[in-house]
Amino acid sequence: MKIKKYLPILIGSFIILGLIIFSFIYTYFIKDTLKPPPSLLYNAKGRLIDTTGYPPSLKYIFGVDRFGRDVFWMVIDGAKYTLSIAIIVGLMRVVFGGILGAFFGFVNGKWLKIIEPIINAFRFVPAVIILFPFFVLLNDVSEATKEKTIAIQLSLLIIISIPVLMNSIGEEVRDYLKNDFITSSKIIGARNSWIRRKHVLPYLRSRVLLLFVQQTIQTLFLLTQLAVFKLFIGGVKILYLDLGVDRPMSKANEWSAMIGANYIELSIDTWVIVGPSIAFIVSIFAFNLIKLGIERLMEDQGPTIKKNQPIEEKSFYPELDDFDFVNKEKLTGATDLKEKVPQSVQLVSR
């Protein structure tokens, strides 16, 4: 059935969309109806058995951290932020990288020798190292400039991967331009703009979804790397404990920020990053399912190589042996000749 071809894409999309929709439902309909977890836990006999934070249980699936927050609902609340950021950044990377790559593929000669080494340098320098000083400057911002700061941070996440993506697409375009039909188009006078519009862009269109999913997954990994350095999207807020211990936290419950901010808590509560880690694993698994489905569709739409089939031999002269010459004397007449000799042979004989 055709549905099987789309099954990985449908399952992956259902998981991603389900997380985002449930996150919005929680924020606008469920959040205000929930009671915060108690700071002290007592058993049936009234004896104190635990204080915040306490580990996962049937009531609190991912546990409660030392600030008295239910980690499960924090993960649900942060789904819309993390996944939306990854999807927006991945989409913008593909749009700008694809457009620039379509033009860069036509660059040759000395300009290519100058530009390509500069672009290739981005492949050997981790993106987190380049972004680090910019995010440090944007980390401590006021609430009034929060939206502007997020826009700048997202722009940096987009720009950092465009050179490498542009170069990769440009290399594919240059290989694609070596096809005979492209060469034929150039010979008869086709301009680069026409070739780009009629050949290159339709060729890249089939790869857009695959590149989008790949860039979305890379964005999720990059967010986690930044969070290890306590660099969060939207800035930082400081939470204080009674013992004078402070923790930098994300102003939104973004998953990578939850992992990075609670990294130091692993020595106290080893389970504290289990919730956001599971959310990351499920999301990346869902995106990989979508990627797998797209790759299968691309393979099915690609050219298929048919196996060699035996050619059925037909003899136009069954009364002749294999090494006999075809001549008028051996045939019964001119009328029979026209009936038995193919049209191409008749033209040659004339």
- Neighbouring CB atoms inside 10 A of 30's CB total 13
Range of the domain at 272: 3-301
Mean pLDDT of the 5-31 span: 93
Q: Is 347 found in the same domain as 218?
A: no
Q: Is the pLDDT of residue 323 over 70?
A: no
Same domain for 319 and 255, yes or no, is no
The full length of the chain comes to 350
pLDDT of 311 > 70? The answer is: no
Residues 65, 186: one domain?
Answer: yes
Whether residue 3 is predicted with pLDDT greater than 90 in this model: the reply is no
> Are 114 and 262 part of one and the same domain?
yes
Domain-located, residue 283: yes
Asked whether residue 309 is domain-assigned, the answer is no
Query: Of 86, 84, 83, 65, nearest to 74 (Cα)?
Result: 65
| 267 & 226 share domain | yes
pLDDT of 349 reads 44
Instruction: Quote the tokens at residue 341.
Output: 């000799």
Q: Taking 70 as the threshold, does the pLDDT of residue 312 lie above it?
A: no
Same domain, 269 and 344: no
Among residues 279, 301, 323, which one ends one of the domains?
Answer: 301
C-alpha span between 162 and 104 (Å, rounded): 12
Give residue-wise pLDDT tens across range 266-294.
767 778 888 999 999 999 999 999 999 88
Chain centroid to Cα 241, Å, comes to 40
Given this model, what pLDDT does residue 331 score? 47
Mean pLDDT for 119-131 is 85
Do residues 339 and 232 both lie within one domain? no
Mean pLDDT across the chain, nearest whole number? 80
Query: Are 53 and 64 a contacting pair, CB within 8 Å?
Result: yes
Residue 263's pLDDT is: 73
Closest by alpha carbon to 274, among 287, 288, 258, 286?
Answer: 258
Question: Average pLDDT of 178-185?
Answer: 87
Which pLDDT tens digit goes with each residue over 54-81?
A: 888 888 899 888 888 899 999 999 999 9
- Please report the pLDDT score of residue 115 as a whole number: 83
Mean pLDDT is highest, among 83-92, 106-115, 124-133, 243-252, for 83-92
Does 310 reside within a domain? no
| pTM, 2 dp | 0.78
Query: Structurally, how many domains does the chain consist of?
Result: 2
* 146 occurs within a structural domain: yes
Degrees to nearest 5, angle at CA 186 with 181 and 189: 130
pLDDT tens-digit profile of 208-244? 888 999 999 999 999 988 888 888 887 677 777 655 5
pLDDT score at 243: 58
pLDDT higher than 50, residue 347: no
For residues 73 and 142, membership in a common domain is answered with yes
Say if residue 142's pLDDT is above 50. Answer: yes
Tell me whether residue 308 is in a domain. Answer: no
What is the per-residue pLDDT for 270? Answer: 75
Is residue 104, in this structure, part of any structural domain at all?
yes
307 or 177, greater pLDDT: 177
Residues 50 and 57: their CA atoms lie apart, in Å, by 12
Q: Nearest 5°: CA angle at 7, between 2 and 13?
A: 135
State the CATH number of the domain containing residue 183: 1.10.3720.10
The pLDDT value given to residue 339: 52
**From 109-123, 248-262, 270-284, 331-345, the region with the lowest mean pLDDT:** 331-345
